[in-house]
Amino acid sequence: MTFDLFDALPAAPAIEPLAPGAMVLRGFARDIDTDLLAAVREVSRAAPFRHLITPGGLRMSVAMTNCGQAGWVSDRSGYRYDPADPDSGAPWPPMPTLFRSLAERAAATAGYPGFAPDACLINRYQPGTRLSLHQDRDELDLRAPIVSVSLGLPATFLWGGLRRADKPARVRLAHGDVVVWGGPSRLAFHGIAPLADGDHALTGNERINLTFRKTR
C-alpha cells in the first residue's frame, strides 16, 4: 500500500483522548515533517542507527539512535541513560532546536506546560518490526510527560493500562501524529504492533518515531 503526503490529513490538528493525562494530537507535526526527517538524517550520520541488545541477550528489532544530553541504551548490564554513545565514546549529537520546540509545543497543548526534554530517542521501524508492551520508567523525574512523534508509515499503537496484564487498545497512528502522556497515565504500558508493509512518500518502507523525555 502506498501512503502519500496527504494520507489521512485532517482539516486541523485534532485532540483525541486516550486516558486521563494521555492524548493523540492528530497531524500536529505534519507541517514540519520534511524538516524533522532532515534533522533525523543529520543525527544518524553522527550516531548511526543500531539494534540494541536487551539484558536478556535478545537483539531488538527496532533500530535506534539518540540525540540530546543523554541517550537511552541497553546491553547485557541493563537499561539506562548514558551521556555518551557507547559505540563511539562521543557525546550524543545535540538535540535540534526544531525537535525541542515541537516537543514543548505538543506537551503544552496536552496540558503539560514547561516540558524541557533533554533526550530524544529515535526509533526506525521496518515492516514486521514491533515493540513489545513496556513502561517508560528509567527517567528520574516521572512528573514530566512523554512526547512521541510518528513519521512515515502508519502504525498500530498499543495503549495499555498500569498493569502488563491489562488488555491494550489498538490506536492507529498516521504520519505527523503526536502522542503525549503523563500524570496518571505516565507509567501506562504501551508498544507497537508489527509494522505493516507499505510505502510512504517521505520515508519509503519505514516509520520513524521520535520520543522526547526528561531524564533528570
pLDDT tens readout for residues 92-104: 999 999 999 999 9
Residue found under cell 498500569: 162
Q: Is the pLDDT of residue 8 over 80?
A: no
Q: Is the pLDDT of residue 84 over 70?
A: yes
Query: What pLDDT does residue 128 have?
Result: 97
Q: Is the pLDDT of residue 11 over 90?
A: no
Query: What pLDDT does residue 3 have?
Result: 52
Contacts of 178 (CB under 8 A, 6+ apart): 24, 25, 28, 29, 102, 106, 147, 148, 149, 150
Query: What pLDDT does residue 10 have?
Result: 44
Domain borders along the chain are: 13-213
pLDDT tens readout for residues 17-51: 999 999 999 999 999 999 999 999 999 999 999 99
CA 70 – CA 60 distance, rounded (Å): 20
% of the chain at pLDDT higher than 90? 94
Domain 13-213 has CATH 2.60.120.590: yes
Q: Is the pLDDT of residue 4 over 80?
A: no
Q: Is the pLDDT of residue 9 over 80?
A: no
Write down the mean pLDDT value for the chain. Answer: 94
Q: Is the pLDDT of residue 12 over 90?
A: no
CA 210 – CA 39 distance, rounded (Å): 11
CA atoms within 13 A on the CB side of 17: 4
Query: What pLDDT does residue 141 have?
Result: 86
Alpha helices in 133-173 (DSSP H): none
What's the mean pLDDT in 55-71? 96
Q: In what order do the strands lie in the sheet with 190-192?
A: 131-134, 190-192, 155-159, 169-173
CA 196 – CA 150 distance, rounded (Å): 15
> 176: phi > 0 → left, psi -120 to 50 → alpha, else beta; which?
left
Query: What pLDDT does residue 201 have?
Result: 98
CA 67 – CA 85 distance, rounded (Å): 9
pTM over 0.75: yes
pLDDT tens readout for residues 151-196: 999 999 999 999 999 999 999 999 999 999 999 999 999 999 999 9
